[in-house]
Amino acid sequence: MVDAHPSHEPVAPALVEVSGLSLPAAITHLPRPDPYLNVEDYEPEADAMALNMGPQHPSTHGVLRLKLFLDGEICFKAVPYVGYLHRGVEKLLENRTAIQSVPYVDKNDYVSPLTGELALVMAYEALLDVEPPPRAQVLRTILMELQRIASHHLWLGTFCLDMGGALGGGSSVFLYNFRERELILDLLEALTGQRMHYNALMVGGNRHDVPPGWEEKVLATMDRVEDRLAEYEAMTVDNHIFRSRTVGVGVLDPLLALEAGAGGANLRASGVDHDLRRDAPYAAYGQVDVRIPVETAGDCYARFLVRIAEMREAIRIVRLLVSGIPEGPIGALKPPRHVNAVKLPPGEVYVGIESPRGELGTYLISDGSPIPVRVKIRPPSLHAVSLLPYLCVGATVSDIVVILGSLDPILGEVDR
Amino acid sequence: MSRVLDALRMIWEIGWLRGLVVGFVTLTVVMLIAAFTIWFERKWSGRMQNRPGPTERGYGGWLQIFADFFKLLQKENLTPTATDRRLFDFVPPIVVFVVLSSLAVVPYVPQGPAADASVGVLLALAISSLMVFPVWAAGWSSNNKWALLGAMRAVAQSISYEIPLVLSALVPVILAGSFRLTEIVGAQADWHWFAFWPPGPGLAAFVLFYLSSLAEANRIPFDIPEAESELVAGATTEYGGMKFGMFYLGEYVHTFVASSLAALLFFGGWEGPGPDGLHWMLAKALILTASVIHVRWTLVRYRSDQLLRLCWTYFVPAALVLVFAAGLWRILAGGLA
Amino acid sequence: MPDDVLALFRTRLGLEEVPPEGPFVPPETLPDIVAALKEMGFLLFLYCAATHWPATENRPEAFTVAYGLRRPGPGSSTARLRVRIPADGSIPTLSGLFAGADWQEREQYDLVGIHFEGHPDLRRLMLPEDWEGHPLRKDYAIDTHHFPWR
């Protein structure tokens, strides 16, 4: 039985300085398992069992395949196999113009499509040196935060589903979360006409302006979502079983997290105070003082706490911004007449934004023709999944499911 | 008319024939109750989760269980080639058999069960703990790693939780001074339900019994042998169609039998305000079953090692203390209070 | 890019001007420079993006591989650099320095066909093991025919 974990106490933990960065000492420089371990070197060899978890498995969040090498039920090596959803999005984007590209990135991270759109659109804007008008910027920020709430709702639901099963308390949390997620999707639908693949952004601005009365609806929904957050906390934060399943499970070394390129809550739960919304503001994040929740325990429970705090923070940002959307146009460019309307100058850009899962980046090379030479999407989920060979070692099968859920990977984004 | 009654009375007087009739009636009724427990669970969990549950077939979807039953019957009888075929096919009927046999000693009416054994409590618990064998056989014969893991967990869990289950059932046995279930209920007459009298150990023993029987019946939060988010479906992964249906039915009958035992041991069975009888027994058993269902749809599950630690470090010592306390009460109060 | 990174590139590479999209680094000095950047606090691995440049009249077939690192925390900044290699060239791996480079390099090996020297586990990441060709090369047509069930 795990009781209150010392590192979740509201006491400032001991810090250690690494390359100019203060990290919690208790979890930094943890021993790292060897992800390239030769299974035949494992002793005693007779106890090893290879177990394929996925691609058809209820808790692999889509079609991840994890090859687990187990000793009893303890994993000593985990090899993730990805690519089951590979659709060649980068190749497709390298054959499309800037205007044609946006719907394709919607399908990458299908839980938060708007962030995918923004990362791509901002890369094109950086290449063209176009600045969207203030109204578009504020609207984009609101959309991003609404999307963050919706995405974290889905994450919380599936996380509890991994722990409690489809026939149990987990699915109750899952369905409650969908209740609020639907409310937010209603808002996005009112704005964009879609509930999943919005295609709401375009180079130089937004595609849709705010319908009448939308701001009031947003505020009302935010009140409701904030009220209901307390329900989830009642079912999770202080629940003994929930805590014993998450506290001290899947402790992520902040240095490993950084070097592996993890982002978002995975990074901040390990004590890295880093969020692009505050540290490299884009859209209208410069106008709001974004508060970044940071936890120092680095375990699944810390990642859970960070995401819950992020939902509250997102609600606050939406409330701040929605009451003062500036007047003006929503696009900096003339509405395009045809797909080749946006001429790209030669150049290379990289733009990163803070998606709900971490730094979602787009690297773009253009040689001056309407279609780009190279589009590389930097998916935060890929880096989260690549942490599994490190985190799964020493964990039981039950823990692996929870660890995978706590990292919040979206396989559509991993595989692209 | 009187001839028929005479014939019935004659049957009643022949012990084994009476047992056969009572057993048959009990089986049928309990199977029906288990089927409606499934409907109730679907409806109740739906209400808990803001969804309607089954609505189409019959009023409130109550015919849905029969639709499910016929669907399961019609399904292809799939047996994966690498299984140990004979054992694999043999297991599901055994599950139902084991679960239903414990009904032989569980009384629902004051007149007693099919076989009012003098060691009824022990027999009921012993039979229901036989469930380990079919589950292990299912996991082993499936030749599937998920099934094997699930079966290994199930064995570890069942064997561990057997001990607090039996020890906590000993508390009412000591208090009543008998292993016979009808006598245990009789000792609880006049509102001396063991859950409330003697105050303390009885209620604690009930909580232990309830939690341990949740673990025995593999219900959340102790359903790690099945753990569909981890082990796909545990020991039953490879089973489909009616073979799966038997496991499914067995699970619900098991839950209902465990609830009935709890009602008999701790809540005075058929004792109650107004006339005693079947209605009180059924009401108590059903309320307990409903609480099992409610718990299931509220909580997430433990990890297997946490579950075993919970058993050996908390439940077993607590149960031993309770047995001791019950004995002490018995000595000090000089028989039944 | 911040001043300390520009200064590093100037001294190590002997450059006058550092382009904003990152200087071209000789492949053999890449691990040293990236290790120096890591020492300077660029701990977050961002991306590794290889690009295929087919042969034209005035240049032979070549690849460029672009890397990005980020210094986390308030006032976050990126360091970007590029490597140009010939068609049959290879590039030293960064997977020893950055765990995140492991999969990114596997992806580039898979999709573009760059060989990363010293990578401990250079297998295809996205595509099946028996896939033929590297789809992100420019000579790989988007409608290339494939045997079914791939």
A399 touches chain B (CB under 8 A): yes
Percent with pLDDT over 70 in chain B: 97
Per-residue pLDDT tens over the stretch B267-278? 887 877 777 778
Assembly ipTM: 0.87
Verify A-C touch: 3 or more CB pairs within 8 A.
yes
Q: Identify the top-confidence range among A26-30, A38-42, A274-278, C13-17.
A: A274-278
Instruction: Inform me whether the pLDDT recorded for B219 exceeds 80.
Output: no
Measured distance CA(A365)–CA(C130) in Å, rounded: 30
Question: CA of B115, closest CA in chain A: separation in Å?
Answer: 36
Percent with pLDDT over 90 in chain B: 1
Contact residues for B269 (Cβ-Cβ < 8 A; gap 6+): B107, B181, B184, B185, B188, B263, B280, B281, B284
Per-residue pLDDT tens over the stretch B273-318? 777 778 888 888 889 989 988 888 888 888 888 888 888 999 899 9
- The chain A residue lying nearest C72, using CA atoms, is A274
Question: Within 13 Å of residue A141, how many CA atoms lie on the same side as its CB?
Answer: 32
Torsion of CA B150, B151, B152, B158, to 10 degrees: 110
Three-state SS string across A239-275, please? CHHHHHHHCCCCCCCHHHHHHCCCCCHHHHCCCCCCC
Q: What is the mean pLDDT of residues B212-220?
A: 78
Instruction: Inform me whether the pLDDT recorded for A46 exceeds 70.
Output: no
B145 touches chain A (CB under 8 A): yes
Per-residue pLDDT band at B30 (split at 50, 70, 90): confident
Task: Please tell me the pTM assigned to this model.
Answer: 0.86
> Among A114, A83, A64, A132, which residue's Cα sits nearest to residue A356?
A114
pLDDT score, position A238: 79
Task: Judge contact between C51 and C109, C-beta under 8 A.
Answer: no
A161 touches chain B (CB under 8 A): yes
Percent with pLDDT over 90 in chain A: 14
Of C75, C126, C142, the CB nearest to A279: C75
> Among C56, C129, C80, which residue's Cα sits nearest to residue A349?
C80
Per-residue pLDDT band at B220 (split at 50, 70, 90): low
Which pair of tokens denotes residue A218?
């947003």
CB contact under 8 A, C51 and A373: yes
> How does DSSP assign B73-108, residue by residue?
HHS-----TTS-HHHHHHHHHHHHHHHHHGGGG--S
Of A57, A165, A172, the CB nearest to B301: A165
- Under CATH, what is the fold of the domain A89-415? Cytochrome-c3 Hydrogenase; chain B (1.10.645)
CB contact under 8 A, B228 and A167: yes
Per-residue pLDDT band at A3 (split at 50, 70, 90): very low
Q: What is the mean pLDDT of residues B192-221?
A: 80
Before A55, cis peptide (omega within 30)? Answer: yes
Instruction: Inform me whether the pLDDT recorded for B325 exceeds 60.
Output: yes
pLDDT score, position A141: 92
pLDDT score, position A8: 57
What is the end-to-end Cα distance of chain A in Å, rounded?
41
Instruction: Inform me whether the pLDDT recorded for A72 exceeds 60.
Output: yes
- Write the CA distances from B188 to B117, B177, B180, B265, integer angstroms: 19, 12, 13, 9
Instruction: Inform me whether the pLDDT recorded for B140 exceeds 60.
Output: yes
Per-residue pLDDT tens over the stretch C33-45? 888 888 888 888 9
Q: What is the mean pLDDT of residues B135-161?
A: 87
pLDDT score, position A145: 92
pLDDT score, position A4: 45
Chains that touch B (3 or more CB pairs under 8 A): A
pLDDT score, position A151: 92
> Among A82, A266, B252, which residue's Cα sits nearest to residue C72?
A266
Q: Report which DSSP code applies to A40.
A: G
pLDDT score, position A212: 87
CB contact under 8 A, A260 and C99: yes
Per-residue pLDDT band at A220 (split at 50, 70, 90): very high
Q: What is the mean pLDDT of residues A330-340?
A: 79
Before A113, cis peptide (omega within 30)? Answer: no
pLDDT score, position A2: 41
Per-residue pLDDT band at A11 (split at 50, 70, 90): low
Of A175, A235, A398, the CB nearest to B49: A175
Interchain CB contacts (distance < 8 Å): A and C: 132
Residue ranges covered by each domain of chain A:
89-415
Per-residue pLDDT band at C76 (split at 50, 70, 90): confident
Q: What is the mean pLDDT of residues B223-250?
A: 79
Q: Which of the two residues, C5 and A115, has the higher pLDDT score?
A: A115
Lowest mean pLDDT: which of A55-64, A73-82, A120-129? A55-64
Measured distance CA(A69)–CA(C77) in Å, rounded: 40
Angle between helices B120-129 and B145-176 (to 10 degrees): 170
pLDDT score, position A9: 55
Of A51, A168, A179, the CB nearest to B296: A168
Q: Which of the two residues, A206 and B233, has the higher pLDDT score?
A: A206
Which residues in chain A touch residue C47, judged by CB atoms under 8 angstroms apart?
350, 361, 363, 376, 378
pLDDT score, position A315: 92
Average of per-residue pLDDT values in chain A: 85
Lowest mean pLDDT: which of A187-191, A236-240, B67-71, B290-294? A236-240
- The chain A residue lying nearest B48, using CA atoms, is A172
CA-based radius of gyration for chain A:
22
Per-residue pLDDT band at A221 (split at 50, 70, 90): very high
Per-residue pLDDT band at C3 (split at 50, 70, 90): confident
Instruction: Inform me whether the pLDDT recorded for B73 exceeds 70.
Output: yes
Instruction: Inform me whether the pLDDT recorded for A336 exceeds 80.
Output: no
Q: Identify the top-confidence range among A170-179, A339-348, A402-411, C128-137.
A: A402-411
Of C71, C125, C136, the CB nearest to A90: C136
Of A1, A168, A397, the CB nearest to B300: A168
Per-residue pLDDT tens over the stretch A152-181? 999 988 888 888 766 677 788 888 888 888
Percent with pLDDT over 70 in chain A: 95
pLDDT score, position A149: 92
A68 touches chain B (CB under 8 A): no
A390 touches chain C (CB under 8 A): yes
Verify C-B touch: 3 or more CB pairs within 8 A.
no
Q: Which amino acid, residue C40?
A: M
Instruction: Inform me whether the pLDDT recorded for A269 exceeds 80.
Output: yes
Instruction: Inform me whether the pLDDT recorded for B327 exceeds 60.
Output: yes
